[in-house]
Chains A and B, each alone.
Chain A
């Protein structure tokens, strides 16, 4: 018990160790968190009228971000498979950072759901036993189960590995092996269930297409790894963690395949919608060409398409894939492209035109944008703090006290 408390403080101290850049970064994030918090408090008092959502478009920026981030979380599996199943060593060394990213992304997902709720105090109504969870009928209930399950699985894996490392021992696969195996289908399930959430609504022809879940997965396996590639380079530059270039290039190659499939599925969707030309193609027409002069999403969608196609070619050819300028440019393109496509580009056209044919053009208010930025800043801060523990443990600089071995080894940089 004494050791536990001591170790807690050893760990806590990590937060305060850092140079000027670190403190500036934390201050920068805190500024946006406070700004977002104040906008959210105003939203709590006045209601969701502070957003641009209305009865016609009843979900907006919050749920768009939620959908995008489920994809980011699901993408950790792209590291888990080569790392643990194929024992690809360069990736195995960094899979931990992917799992921590999944933990962060799911936390952000939960925050986005919370800020979207009209009655956040009643969130316990959705829980089983103490609330009245509508399981298995409601897909939203499924989403609660799979998202929390995924958070739990990844948190256990990451913290178990970190704990073993921190006491100077190797982690044992017989303990987390089954969890790792479980995390693979589970990662697929979180994005599938989130796709089904939209997919199951016959009222919304744009979502009510079987291609939705496969497209969700394909685009998730682009955007999540693209974020990871950028994070890996930052981690590599700013700490002593060594990340093999081979790991980065392998992930980039996997992104190329995923983006290829994503673009193919987009083509299949575009063909079906425009060739058959039924009235159910209004939403996609609205997206790419606008309807009745309402065109607010059109430039975004074309930008997203252009970004995704360019990134696909960057990642397809080994020459551009293994050049860090084009690699990073490609990552940025993919993050922006998928953020548009799987965010606003997916959620809004489900509601435009609405079920009675009205076109309400949604564009988020300042308040909505501030809350959204606040949650992104919260996520960035969470990941920063997680790395603050994980990196020194990983590099062997931070060791906890155990019965056999007193004292800790910690360098002072």
Chain B
């Protein structure tokens, strides 16, 4: 499997690329005063998302839809569904069921418009050898590639954004470009992120990913139903992460990974609803959260529905 982090573009500067780069750069860094569309400056001066009023949000969403349509030659809606009152999203993952097939990983990519070249995955599935160290993640294997899963001598643990109640990434961000929504989802404003990557250093779960170059995805692969704080196409130089499929879950649907899981290892629901499936799992199973010693209070619970 080709991974974003395995490619490494070295750069050779012969004279020609040097001159070409210099010429391109001078043209590109010159401020686009003559640019026909004013949307560049509109985007540049866009305020912090939480400071925008309803009319301003509407015009921002329209501008983005226009930009995306120009870029991908197809209609893309950028929504802004608000958090529902009385909802705090929580996630459950049944480790006794997970077979390590990575269908969740690719369902997530299809749904959330991640870059395909280089590849960005919001879900990482770790493989552990049975009977060996476990809490020590250094013993895990991320790039396992057998012809068939599950393998009898291994077990698997998918990791994605844990949507912490006490998120270290949010505290770290110097520009408040990432925050926790009232329904518990940690979101990023891709138009406010400066790309300093301090949040990536702060995240204990490797859940944040950076667009090291212009994300690329062919127009027919674009999911046109998007959310401003979720799966709308991103830019080069900004951080992105799992949002529990904010564009789906705020409309009463399951996250794509939950729907894709062939063995039903993934549970999702409202932590404030005593009758939800996730509450049942928390109350009746032995659950744990990843790296609890860091006191990040994830809303992502691992459990064992049955013992094998």
A108 located at the interface, meaning its Cβ lies under 8 Å from any Cβ of chain B in the complex: no
Partner of B138, one of A42, A49, A353, A370: A353
Instruction: Provide the A41-81 mask, 1 if CB < 8 A to any CB of B, else 0.
Output: 11011111110111110110000000000000000000000
B13 at interface, CB cutoff 8 A: yes
Contact B12 A366 (CB under 8 A): yes
List, in ascending order, chain B residues with CB within 8 A of A181's CB.
none
Partner of A126, one of B13, B142, B174, B214: B174
Given the complex, which residues of B lie within 8 Å of A46, measured CB to CB? 9, 213-214
Complex Cα distance, B142 from A120, in Å, reads: 32
Given known pairs A118-B193, A202-B168, the reply for A41 and B213 (CB within 8 Å) is no
**Minimum Cβ distance to chain A for residue B201 (Å):** 6
Check A201–B202 contact: CB distance below 8 A: yes
- Of residues 1 through 47 on chain B, the ones whose CB sits less than 8 Å from some CB of chain A are 4-5, 8-13, 17-18, 21-22, 24-26, 28-29, 44
Known: A47-B213, A138-B172. 6 other contacts (CB 8 A): A42-B17, A46-B214, A55-B200, A55-B210, A118-B195, A357-B142
- Complexed CA–CA distance, A50 and B10 (Å): 7
Contact B237–A356 (Cβ < 8 Å): no
Interface segment out of the listed A128-136, A159-167, A212-220, A266-274? A128-136
Q: Is A360 an interface residue (CB 8 A)?
A: yes
B206 contacts the other chain (CB 8 A):
yes
Q: Answer yes or no: B294 CB below 8 A from chain A CBs.
A: yes
A58 in contact with B197 given A41-B28, A118-B210 (CB within 8 Å): yes
What is the minimal beta-carbon distance from A333 to any residue of chain B, in angstroms? 30
A201–B13 contact, CB under 8 A?
A: no
Nearest first, the 10 closest Cβ-Cβ pairs linking A and B are A118-B195, A41-B25, A118-B237, A357-B137, A203-B204, A140-B174, A357-B138, A47-B213, A49-B213, A54-B5
A59 CA / B172 CA spacing, docked (Å): 15
Q: Cβ of A45 and Cβ of B28 under 8 Å apart?
A: yes
Cβ-neighbour of B203 out of A53, A353, A355, A358 (below 8 A): A355
Choose from B28, B118, B176, B236 the contact partner of A118 (Cβ within 8 Å).
Answer: B236
Interface residues on A, range: 35 or more
Is residue B254 contacting chain A, with contact meaning CB distance below 8 A?
Answer: no
Are the CB atoms of B294 and A202 closer together than 8 Å?
yes
Output the least CB separation between A66 and chain B (Å).
11
* Known pairs A134-B174, A279-B136; A119 contacts B195 (CB<8 A): yes
Select one of B137, B159, B208, B237 contacting A47, CB under 8 A.
Answer: B237
Cα A37 to Cα B174 in complex, Å, equals 27
Pick the residue among B9, B172, B176 that contacts A139 (CB under 8 A).
B172
Instruction: List B residues at the A interface (Cβ < 8 Å).
Output: 4-5, 8-13, 17-18, 21-22, 24-26, 28-29, 44, 48, 51, 118, 124, 126, 136-140, 142, 159, 168, 171-177, 192-198, 200-206, 208-214, 235-239, 294-295
**Chain B residues in 8 Å Cβ range of A37:** 22, 25
Does A138 lie within 8 Å of B174, measured CB to CB? Answer: yes
Interchain CB contact under 8 A, B198 and A41: no
Report which of B12, B24, B176, B197 forms a contact with A59, defined as CB distance below 8 A.
Answer: B197
Residue of B12, B140, B172, B177 contacting most chain A CB atoms (<10 Å):
B172
- B11 CB contacts on chain A under 8 angstroms: 39, 42, 50, 365-367
Task: List the interface of chain A (C-beta within 8 A of B).
Answer: 35, 37-42, 44-50, 52-56, 58-59, 113, 116-123, 125-126, 131-134, 137-141, 144, 197-198, 201-204, 279, 282, 291, 350-351, 353-360, 365-367, 370
Contact assessment for B175 and A48 in the assembled complex, using a CB-CB cutoff below 8 Å: no
Interchain CB contact (< 8 A) of A203 among B196, B201, B212, B239: B201
What residues on A are CB-neighbors of B9 within 8 Å? 46, 49-50, 365
Q: In the complex, A197→B5 CA distance in Å? A: 25
User: Contacts of A353 on B, CB cut-off 8 Å?
Assistant: 137-138
User: Of B139, B198, B237, which contacts A138 at CB under 8 A?
Assistant: B198
Most chain B CB atoms below 10 A, which of A53, A58, A120: A58
Please tell me which one of the listed residues B12, B24, B142, B237 contacts residue A119 in the complex, with CB atoms under 8 A apart.
B237
Contact A45 B174 (CB under 8 A): no
**A134 and B175 contact, CB distance less than 8 A:** yes
Pairs A–B under 8 Å by Cβ, sample size 5: A39-B11, A39-B21, A356-B137, A356-B206, A367-B13
Q: Tell me if B159 and A356 are in contact (CB < 8 A).
A: yes
Is the beta-carbon distance between A58 and B200 smaller than 8 angstroms?
yes
Residues of B within 8 A of A358 (CB): 142, 206
CB distance A119 to B204 under 8 Å?
no
A358 to chain B, nearest CB (A): 6
Are B192's CB and A355's CB within 8 A?
A: no
